[in-house]
Amino acid sequence: MNIMVTNDDGIHAAGIRALAEAMTALGTVTVVAPDRERSAAGHSLTLHSPLRIFEQHKGWYAVDGTPTDCVNMGIHNMLPITPDLVVSGINHGANLGDDITYSGTVAAAMEANLMGIPAIAFSLATFAPSNHFTDAALMAVQIARQVIANGLPADTFLNVNFPDCPQDKMLPPLITRQGKRSFIGKIVDKTDPRGRKYFWVGSEEPHLNDEPGTDFHAINRRHVSITPLHLDLTNHKSLPILAEWTF
């Protein structure tokens, strides 16, 4: 197997080191990741400036762009052959519910999926310091083995979230749907020492809708959450309603 590893926390993050090392059990690993943190980059591409590649050491490359840039650069310019599998992460922080739309980790897997390559996004559900990236990476290998053995349905990639605990404390994976959360966004408005205004994008503490079958529900009970995703954002239930409009 030829496996490409990327992320959005940057090439020096603990999660990508653990994931890349664990994936060597499945084949040859090449790391192509942002040269710095690019969290919440979403599915963005760098279109108005050139991209540069910096080889860190053999098989490890940093790109001064977004996670989506990294997947494009890796597949089209850097890897000698198309990878059999693209894995993204392990993100430091959950990617659950609506937050997947912001996630560079998920977007990297999405980009590989658009190119017809099996892809998985992995996240560890904590923003606090953690010693469990290796535990999550070992579970990631087990999930990757299933993808390799069984393949994925057409137009599908996986979003996987791990509870922040040792591997032997993680409960078995559950196939989940994307959950929902409600939150109130806010902009923090402050003044710097020179009297100039600055603003910080934030939000109130979110309320998680802990419904059975969702990614939130699984993680809250220490299950590994596996959510199949695809890029079709069409609200199919709305099609017959809007079809009755008169233009």
Per the structure block, which two tokens stand in for 5?
């590893």
- Residues 218-228, mean pLDDT to the nearest whole number: 97
pLDDT exceeds 80 at position 113: yes
Residues in CB range of 203: below 8 A, 6 or more apart: 183, 184, 185, 186
Alpha-carbon torsion (183, 40, 176, 237), positive or negative: positive
- Residues 98-119, mean pLDDT to the nearest whole number: 95
pLDDT exceeds 70 at position 4: yes
Model pLDDT, residue 206: 61
194-210 per-position pLDDT tens digit: 999 888 876 556 667 88
Q: What domains are there in the chain, each with its CATH number?
A: 2-181+209-243 (3.40.1210.10)
Model pLDDT, residue 179: 93
pLDDT band (50, 70, 90) for residue 187: confident
Single pTM value for the model: 0.92
Contact 1, 26 (CB under 8 A): yes
**Residue-averaged pLDDT of the chain:** 93
